Amino acid sequence: GAVVSQHPSRVICKSGTSVKIECRSLDFQATTMFWYRQFPKQSLMLMATSNEGSKATYEQGVEKDKFLINHASLTLSTLTVTSAHPEDSSFYICSARVDRYEQYFGPGTRLTVT
Amino acid sequence: KNEVEQSPQNLTAQEGEFITINCSYSVGISALHWLQQHPGGGIVSLFMLSSGKKKHGRLIATINIQEKHSSLHITASHPRDSTVYICAAWLRGGNEKLTFGTGTRLTIIP
């Protein structure tokens, strides 16, 4: 099946710094990738939809200036958490769309902001 | 109220038992996924279905569109089946996006 990778798998950063998370589709091209956030014992929540070559579409309540998304190629989308705060600590997971209703998930990135 | 509801939240069973996890949704859907989330957080897609029934090994997924309900069954359960199972549905209307249930934590005791 299709493989989606994420890097890094785990990151610890200081409050106020920025962190970039990469999501790659390894053996297929994805015009659409999704970014989710998951807090402990909660379900995944969609943050934004990333479309190759155009601006991301953010869900209500997600600050686009804080969570910068770039989808510069058909195999790579990046999420940058700017000026990170402890409340941004969470599990971030991306997925890449294969067709209209099918998508494959990356392994996730655990972000801890100290 | 979440548009995708799962039950039970936690399920503990003996090895070999037949397992059923339920998912109900409140609006029309285009497709429904059953996912498995491993302890490290990674998610694996088990099934995607929009009607009927699918089977893969010991796993069976069914969906009843009229009743807005889907089930995931595991036959001859094994301790390695212990993990979190998540139902997620593409809800119709407006901004179509994948909406997740809260998950079911399954523990199979040897």
Look up residue A8 and give its two tokens.
């890094």
Minimal Cα–Cα distance from A50 to chain B, Å? 13
- In the β-sheet with B4-7, what is the strand arrangement from edge to edge? B4-7, B19-25, B69-74, B59-64, B52-56
Q: Say if residues A94 and A105 touch (Cβ distance below 8 Å).
A: yes
Rounded (to 5) percent helix, strand, coil in chain A:
5, 55, 40
Dist. CA B2–CA B102, nearest whole Å = 9
Q: Is the pLDDT of residue A34 over 90?
A: yes
> What is the rounded distance in angstroms from the CA atom of residue B24 to the CA atom of residue B7?
9
Query: Is B43's Cβ below 8 Å from some Cβ in A?
Result: yes
Report which residue type is found at A102. Answer: E
Share of chain A above pLDDT 70, in %: 99
**Pairing assessment for the beta strands B10-14 and B104-109 based on DSSP bridges:** parallel
Res. A1: pLDDT tops 70: no
What is the percent of chain A with per-residue pLDDT over 90, rounded to a whole number?
82
- Check A107 against B42: CB less than 8 A apart: yes
Query: Which pLDDT score, from 0 to 100, does residue B86 have?
Result: 97
Q: Is the pLDDT of residue B48 over 70?
A: yes
Contacts of A95 in chain B (CB under 8 A): 43
Distance between CA atoms of residues B49 and B55, nearest Å? 11
The answer to whether A52 touches A31, Cβ cutoff 8 Å, is yes
What is the mean predicted confidence (pLDDT) over B10-15? Answer: 98
pLDDT over 80 at B80, yes or no: yes
- Judge whether B34 and B58 are in contact, CB under 8 Å: no
Confidence of residue B35 (pLDDT cuts 50, 70, 90): very high
Composition of chain B by helix, strand, coil, percent to 5:
5, 60, 35
Calculate how close chain B gets to A37, using CA atoms only, in Å: 11
Instruction: Quote the CA–CA distance of A27 and B100 in Å, as a whole number.
Output: 26
Q: What is the pLDDT of residue B1?
A: 64
Q: What is the DSSP letter of A72?
A: E
Supply the mean pLDDT for chain B: 94
Q: How many residues comprise chain B?
A: 110
* Residue A107 DSSP symbol: -
